[in-house]
């Protein structure tokens, strides 16, 4: 029995070796080239990217998940072949096995510099032309970090960047040349609009060459306007009704003012999870604070008018009420305009 098993093992080994020889004969007997192609100038890698989808944008974590196709093209004369001898006009290596085990070519190993967690590369295809031109196509699904500045929230706009680099080489050995960047039609992201996709190359001396893909996205502001700003502006406007109430009803005027203040505070607590959790002041935070400040100011006006009435200065109380009827709306518009100007001009 042991002799039969030994003979069977030898037969299987010989069969595998023969199959491997036939397979190598079919794909060519080129020896692997592990280094850069020789040359006096840096090897230029043409890079292009097609955005297929943005799965999510998390402005609190400052990350975004995307799926896209990265295409790299370079020329390696060592991979040139004779189509008549090879029997094909183009050699194609597809799938992880053929690409990793059978393809003899050097290729630029790309790394997502600003990845945050997942980064998967699938559907790898390497195509070799008779003159040595190599085209590497791969699909990338990854989560990348982004720099979110939400001072203009809910009218903010961001550049979501995916930075690809080739580690182990500097710009004197290898250089990126950004060709194009595009997005497939019909990409939709909840509460965001995609305004455009661009790309550029960074080849800075001793640093690793980088290919940067930037996706321009703008927030859809109507959700926040409908849920926060419009109801809040209505509450603030109703708090000004005290300026049309009788001076003698000071308690009623104070009650209306405090009801507006408490409503605004409760409203801020309810919608707090919808607002950005950041330490700096956004446009929305400024509007909320200005609204609360003006409603608190109505309490002060009520007390002043009541004091005038107690001291027999009813005409002065009437004058204060009449003036506040247009001072408060104008002040509210001015404060909101000031906050918007600072958000859009300064930042």
Among 50-64, 75-89, 98-112, which stretch is predicted with the lowest mean pLDDT? 98-112
pLDDT tens digits for range 251-260:
889 998 998 8
pLDDT tens digits for range 3-18:
444 544 444 444 444 4
Mean pLDDT, the chain, whole residue set: 85
SS3 assignment for 60-72: CCCEEEEEEEEEE
Cis ω for the linkage preceding 154 (within 30 of 0):
yes
Above 50 in pLDDT, residue 123?
A: yes
Cα-to-chain-centroid distance, residue 133: 33
Mean pLDDT (whole number) for 193-209: 90
pLDDT value of residue 124: 87
Q: What is the three-class DSSP state of 182?
A: strand
Q: Kind of pairing, strands 91-94 and 115-128?
A: antiparallel
pLDDT value of residue 100: 64
Pairwise CA distance, residues 57 & 169, whole Å = 32
Q: What confidence category does residue 32 fall into, taking pLDDT thresholds of 50, 70 and 90?
A: low
**CATH homologous superfamily of domain 25-220?**
Neurotransmitter-gated ion-channel ligand-binding domain (2.70.170.10)
pLDDT value of residue 18: 43
**CATH homologous superfamily of domain 223-346?**
Neurotransmitter-gated ion-channel transmembrane domain (1.20.58.390)
- Domain borders along the chain are 25-220, 223-346
CA distances from 29 to 22, 57, 63, 85 (A): 10, 47, 45, 12
């Amino acid at each position: 029995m042991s002799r039969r098993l030994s003979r069977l093992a030898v037969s299987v080994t010989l069969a595998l070796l023969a199959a491997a020889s036939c397979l190598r004969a079919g794909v060519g007997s080129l020896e692997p080239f592990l280094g850069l192609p020789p040359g006096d100038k840096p090897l230029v890698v043409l890079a292009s990217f097609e955005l297929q989808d943005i799965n999510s944008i998390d402005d609190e974590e400052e990350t975004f998940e995307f799926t896209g196709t990265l295409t790299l093209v370079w020329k390696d004369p060592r991979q040139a072949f004779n189509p008549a001898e090879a029997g094909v006009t183009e050699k194609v290596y597809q799938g992880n096995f053929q690409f990793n085990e059978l393809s003899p070519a050097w290729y630029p190993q790309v790394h997502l510099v600003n990845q945050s967690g997942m980064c998967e590369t699938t559907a790898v295809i390497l195509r070799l032309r008779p003159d040595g031109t190599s085209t590497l196509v791969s699909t990338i699904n990854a989560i990348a970090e982004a720099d979110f500045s939400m001072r203009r929230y809910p009218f903010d706009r961001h550049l979501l960047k995916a930075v690809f680099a080739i580690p182990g080489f500097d710009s004197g050995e290898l250089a990126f040349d950004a060709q194009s960047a595009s997005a497939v039609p019909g990409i939709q992201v909840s509460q965001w609009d995609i305004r455009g996709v661009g790309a550029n190359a960074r080849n800075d001396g001793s640093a690793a060459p980088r290919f940067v893909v930037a996706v321009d996205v703008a927030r859809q502001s109507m959700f926040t306007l409908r849920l926060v700003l419009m109801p809040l502006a209505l509450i603030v406007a109703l708090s000004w009704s005290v300026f049309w109430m009788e001076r003698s009803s000071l308690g009623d005027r104070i009650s209306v003012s405090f009801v507006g203040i408490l409503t605004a505070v409760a409203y801020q607590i309810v919608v707090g999870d919808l607002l950005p959790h950041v330490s700096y002041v956004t446009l929305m935070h400024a509007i909320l604070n200005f609204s609360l400040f003006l409603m608190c100011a109505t309490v002060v006006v009520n007390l002043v008018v009541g004091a005038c009435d107690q001291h027999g200065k009813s005409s002065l109380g009437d004058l204060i009420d009449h003036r506040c009827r247009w001072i408060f709306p104008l002040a509210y518009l001015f404060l909101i305009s000031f906050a918007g100007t600072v958000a859009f001009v300064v930042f």
